[in-house]
Amino acid sequence: MALPENGQTRDAIFETLDTFRADDINTRSGRLFARVYPATERVENIALDAFRKFQGLNGLDPLSFPSLLRFEVDIINICLEHLNADMAAAAGSFTSGGTESILCAVKAARDFARATRPEVTRPEMILPATAHAAFHKACAYFDLVAVTVSVDPETFQADAAAMAAAITDQTVLIVGSAPAYPHGTIDPIEALAATALKHNIPMHVDACVGGWLLPLYEALGQSVPLFDFQVPGVTSISMDLHKYALCPKGASVVLYADKAMRRYQFFAATEWAGYSIINPTVQSTKSGGPLAGAWATLQAFGRDGYMDVARRMLDATDRLRSGLRAMKSLSIMGKPEFCMAAVSSDDVSVFHILDAMTARGWLIEVQLAFDNSPANLHLALNPGNLDNVEAMLEDLAGAVEDARALGTTSALADQVKAMFARIDPKDFNEEMFQRLLKFAGMTGVGLPEKMADINQVLNALPRPITKALLLEFANTLWSAEALPENAQS
């Protein structure tokens, strides 16, 4: 669309916005097992009012807006305390999300190595194969080498011995997750941290998804392995507040056992003609909205409110697991210790199950095969779907039977795989992508209702080709032609 010649009225704007919204998945349906982490209506209203009150303030300049500095100090202290840090020594930063928290932790580790270890010229980071993609993004952005180590094929936990064996004189960071997103399994943080400590290498625990709830689970009497600052050798932790702390999106923290390490995360610029820049994190101009929204959410729930959430999540996790265990064709991968599970199948295509679930109105995630992890479906509980666990399981059982009838192979995937067998991923281009779309019977990037063929293609291709294909897809998606009819103008 072009910029309207004249300003539009509020009514006209919202009429249009409602038509846009009609194409979105309904986040209040209780049928989303991915993507959303809703608070209660009471808390959400408080959080959004606070968000609005502070959104126009600029965190770039905390001296002019000490309210924002206060929010951040309060939030960081609450989070450090939550994860058992030594309050006299520890420090942290508020960021826009898990990815930014991880980028910050990796940058700090790299710059710490640059400052203290002259032998490091080609910094490496040791990652379990289940570590979040954000670590690979950090490698791409900051020019580190990702050394990816296979996880245990039974438990899907990081293999501490194999990771120790991967250490070189270039290693600047060792990573473990609590839990790792793909299977909901918690890595052996104590063993990894002991190795890190022995070699005097920083160790980051990615507790983006689990950091908020796990200590509450423990307080409720669950056995939770040690994963936080109580573990000697853990130097930094990322924890998302916009996940299970149920804050408005754009809220995460990166925490350091020692404030001296945080210093390597910061960036200052004096080598230009403008104002002096001091940026603790990636953003420069930074809305006060997410900070105020997160602060208000923590206040509005309080410890007892979050304990209540944790109790309900635990109860629903039991119901989810026993329901999944009862399904003969599905198996829960590894031993998830969190409110999520990945399920694979030997005799039914998970891609067809996904389509059958989509047709029944559920949003669940598919994860392609990687290393020793077969393709699977990922189910995450959130406070908005707990009452629908049984209904979802019932539909899942039906979806498995629908999928069984469709078999496990894809002629299209086989053909595409043959087509691309000899292509160098570097040579994959837009023209090839368009040819592929046509071959798959697609006229554009508007996705068909049934995704199984496409997912089988993505799953079957060598990963570098899959990546090239996804990049072409994205470069086409962010264009006017890809918009749904409704929203086109």
Ligand X SMILES: *Cc1c(COP(=O)(O)O)cnc(C)c1O
Binding site for ligand X (CB under 6 A): 97-99, 132, 134, 177, 181, 206, 208-209, 240, 252
Give the residue with the Cβ less far from ligand X, 249 or 467. 249
Give the residue with the Cβ less far from ligand X, 111 or 206. 206
CB of 224 to ligand X, least distance (A): 16
DSSP string computed for 8-69: PPHHHHHHHHHHHHTTS--TTSS-BSSS-----HHHHHHHHHHHHHHTTSBTT-TTT-HHHH
**Is the CB of residue 81 less than 8 Å from the CB of residue 87?**
yes
Give the residue with the Cβ less far from ligand X, 177 or 297. 177
CB of 379 to ligand X, least distance (A): 14
Sequence-distant (6+) residues with CB within 8 A of 18 are none
Give the residue with the Cβ less far from ligand X, 96 or 195. 96
CB count within 10 Å of CB 332 equals 19
Give the residue with the Cβ less far from ligand X, 339 or 356. 339
> How far does the chain reach from its first CA to its final CA, in angstroms?
5
Give the residue with the Cβ less far from ligand X, 177 or 317. 177
CB of 214 to ligand X, least distance (A): 12
Bridge partners, 236 (sequence order): 204, 256
Give the residue with the Cβ less far from ligand X, 181 or 362. 181
Peptide bond into 179 cis (omega under 30): yes
Sequence-distant (6+) residues with CB within 8 A of 361 are 29, 31
The residue whose Cβ lies closest to ligand X is 98
Give the residue with the Cβ less far from ligand X, 244 or 420. 244
Q: How far apart are CA 43 and CA 443, in angstroms?
A: 44
CB of 60 to ligand X, least distance (A): 21
CA angle 321, 327, 330 (to 5 degrees): 85
CB of 455 to ligand X, least distance (A): 21
CB of 106 to ligand X, least distance (A): 12
CB of 19 to ligand X, least distance (A): 28
SS3 309: helix
CB of 181 to ligand X, least distance (A): 4
CB of 137 to ligand X, least distance (A): 9
CA angle 71, 74, 75 (to 5 degrees): 80
Long-range contacts of 361-365 (CB under 8 A, 24+ apart): 361/29, 361/31, 362/31, 362/32, 362/33, 362/392, 362/395, 363/25, 363/31, 363/32, 363/33, 363/34, 363/35, 364/33, 364/34, 365/33, 365/34
Helices 133-142 and 98-116 cross at an angle (nearest 10°) of 50
Give the residue with the Cβ less far from ligand X, 44 or 240. 240
DSSP string computed for 109-122: HHHHHHHH-TT-SS
